[in-house]
Amino acid sequence: MDEMNDRQTSRLDQILNLLVEEIEERMHARAPRPPAPAPPADADVLAPSAAAPPGMPEEPVGEAAAPEEAEPELERPSLPPAPSHASRLMGRHQNGAFTKVMGRLALGLLLALVLINIPFNRHGTTLATAMPDSAALVIRDGLVVKEQDDEKIYVYQDGRFRWISSLDAFEHFDYTWGDVHIVEDGFLDRYEIGPPLHVLLKCRTSPHIYRMEGGEKRWIRDIETFDAEGHVWEDVRFVSCGYLRDLPDGETIPPGYGPPPQP
């Protein structure tokens, strides 16, 4: 009887021991593990964590490989902050207003240029040439002027103003009404007035030379008179003899030498 009791007690103890061990293992598995200690920073030699298995040569222990240096990161240029929606709307409004103002100015300038260059009389005189501008004139050879209240047109040649005696002379020397500058009355009083600028006509089969004045041809009596009047051969214009005969005759140069000879 006692043996039976002892056996039951021993078996109960074994069961209790097994239960205690199982509980301890589970509690041990659930408990947090402490972190592994970091290796020292100044360690020159790394020790192997475990011995090499038998039969395999141990690896030589040497200096730890230096870590690869990371490439320096390039600095990105800082970008200005993006404009807000309100700023963009305001910029567009300002640009649109500026464009409209510049467009109106350009249109006004274009209209002014057109208006001052539109001829307002039968001679083709424009507002740009009709306004007195003597203060801004550059006195030079070839300058064509006309005083406001005088019909005569003058051209500046060799330090003197010469009267262009006729429309025929005006056209012969290739002047246009756009070349004429309107100046104030009395402007020409400040300058020397030279001999009038005439058109000299001659046909090739006749020795006579004529000067056109007021739509009439005036016969120049001889070479001495030609030179005395200040004429030069460069002023002589060659036309047909029939054209000369159809022109009305004027007074001879000098006057009083009878009816002029016909070419």
Q: pLDDT of 85-144, one tens digit each?
A: 656 656 665 666 667 667 777 777 776 665 655 654 554 555 555 555 566 688 899 999
Does any domain span residue 51? no
Instruction: Assess if residue 171 is contained within a domain.
Output: yes
143, 170, 197 - which closes a domain: 197
Decide which of 136 and 1 is more confident: 136
Q: What is the pTM of this model?
A: 0.43
E-assigned strands of 78-198?
144-147, 154-157, 160-163, 180-183
**Confidence at residue 106, expressed as pLDDT on a 0 to 100 scale:** 73
State which residues form the domain around 193: 111-197
Among candidates 72, 109, 254, which has minimal Cα distance to 117? 109
Residues 173-231 pLDDT 10s: 889 999 999 999 999 999 999 888 888 999 999 999 999 887 889 999 999 999 998 88
How far, in Å, CA of 200 to CA of 233, rounded?
9
Q: What pLDDT score does 49 carry?
A: 46
End position of a domain, from candidates 163, 197, 231: 197
251 backbone dihedrals φ, ψ, rounded to 5°: -65, 145
Residue 242 forms part of a structural domain: yes
- Tracing tokens 């040569």 back to the chain, one arrives at 57
What is the CATH classification number for the domain harbouring 150? 3.30.2390
Q: Quick one: average pLDDT of 240-258?
A: 93
What's the mean per-residue pLDDT of the chain?
75
The number of domains in the chain is 2
Which residues contact residue 59 at a Cβ distance below 8 angstroms, ignoring those fewer than 6 apart?
48, 52
- The answer to the question of residue 137 being in a domain is yes
117 and 187 fall within a common domain: yes
40 found inside a domain: no
Domain ends where: 146, 177, 197?
197
